[in-house]
Amino acid sequence: MKQYIDIQRVREQDEIVDNNLTLPKNTGAFQAGDIISITEKIDGANASVRYDEAKGVLRGFSRKNELSGENPLRGFWNYVQKLDKTPFARYPHYIFFGEWLVKHTVIYERDDYDKWYLFSVYNEDTNGWMPQEFVKAFAEEYGFPYVKELYSGKFINWEHCRQFANQPSYGEQQEGIVIKNQTALSEGRGPHVLKYVNPKFQEIKLENRGKRVEDPDKVKEREQAAEYMRLIVTEARVMKIFHKLVDEGILPEKIPKEHLQLIYKNLPKRVYEDCVKEEPEIVQKADKYAGKLCTNITIDIFRKKMGV
């Protein structure tokens, strides 16, 4: 199965975490005049559909697993079974990615839930992503909601892009925006997709980045490691992973106190994996303490957030 790309957050400049660690700028593929699209970043479950030529059926996937009646991704598999196969059969080598909107952290209007918002299409024949114009045209032709597009036009600068980060389309809150560079995609420049997350929902504490962490010779190793891990093991990240585990059927949405062992067994491990994937430089700085600190911080955040 094809997993959706990991979208990096916008870093316009090198970001200094401390005197020994800098996260590099990642916006080099975006040049003035490039054609971009800005869409709302919606907080649901990543879900994809493809047509199986051999079996003549539609197959549905979560971010990591193929779905079934036993693992339905909170109703998405059932949704796929009711879809007309014809549109997808026209493109048997395409994988259609969207967001299955179920309750996560951001609260939306009731009518927005239990819908699949199409946002990207992958072509296995070319091993590349289709232009957004194709995605929009497919969604319009066959009646699928296309994730709300806030801007389509020339890239001006990042300040201009951020103006769209407070224009919620599906409720009173907006998690952020996704910026896709169509020119960079066609010319092979990357990364051609970046995200900007509003401060309330950021998975790394931006207010701490750029501050000088005390010299490790003057503080205990564990204390410094804890500073690093608290930068990235945040409430936003912990709850994001919790909802993903609910989506995958690994955890129930409501967990009684007597079943907290389910959380201890699954949540810290997945939060740690997400940190390694998204912020490997910071995890490396925490060194041998990273795993245990991640567990302790994750559990503490979850219990405070859920009141258990």
Q: What is the pLDDT of residues 170-227, one digit of tens each?
A: 888 899 999 999 999 999 998 999 999 888 776 655 444 444 444 444 356 788 889 8
Examine the pLDDT at 39 and tell me if it is beyond 60: yes
Range of weakest confidence among 90-99, 199-208, 264-273, 288-297: 199-208
pLDDT at 211: 47
Nearest Cα residue to 144 out of 80, 75, 53: 80
Share of the chain above pLDDT 70, in %: 92
What's the chain's average pLDDT?
A: 89
Average pLDDT over residues 229-240: 94
Q: What is the pLDDT of residues 24-35, one digit of tens each?
A: 899 999 999 999
Q: Hey, what domains does the chain have and what are their CATH numbers?
A: 35-198 (3.30.470.30), 202-306 (no CATH)
Q: Predicted confidence band at 148 (pLDDT cuts at 50, 70, 90)?
A: very high
Q: CB burial class (10 A; 0-12, 13-18, 19+) of residue 235?
A: middle
CA 153, 157, 159, 161 torsion-angle sign: positive
The β-bridge partners of 18 are 21
Residues near 261 by beta carbon (within 8 Å), at least 6 away in sequence: none
Q: Predicted confidence band at 258 (pLDDT cuts at 50, 70, 90)?
A: low
How many CB atoms lie under 10 A from the CB of residue 102? Answer: 21
Average pLDDT over residues 126-155: 96
According to DSSP, the β-strands at 94-100 and 45-52 are antiparallel
pTM of the entire predicted model: 0.70
Average pLDDT over residues 97-110: 91
DSSP symbol at 52: E
Q: Predicted confidence band at 270 (pLDDT cuts at 50, 70, 90)?
A: very high
Nearest Cα residue to 297 out of 266, 268, 256: 268
Range of weakest confidence among 60-64, 163-167, 208-212: 208-212
Instruction: List Cα–Cα distances, 133 to 51, 115, 119, 179, 301, in angstroms.
Output: 21, 21, 11, 14, 41
pLDDT at 161: 96
pLDDT at 217: 47
Phi-psi region of 188 (alpha: psi -120 to 50; beta: other; left: phi over 0): left
Q: Predicted confidence band at 254 (pLDDT cuts at 50, 70, 90)?
A: confident
Average pLDDT over residues 62-91: 94
Q: How far apart are CA 179 and CA 37, in angstroms?
A: 6
Average pLDDT over residues 100-128: 93
Q: Are 144 and 126 in contact (CB under 8 A)?
A: no
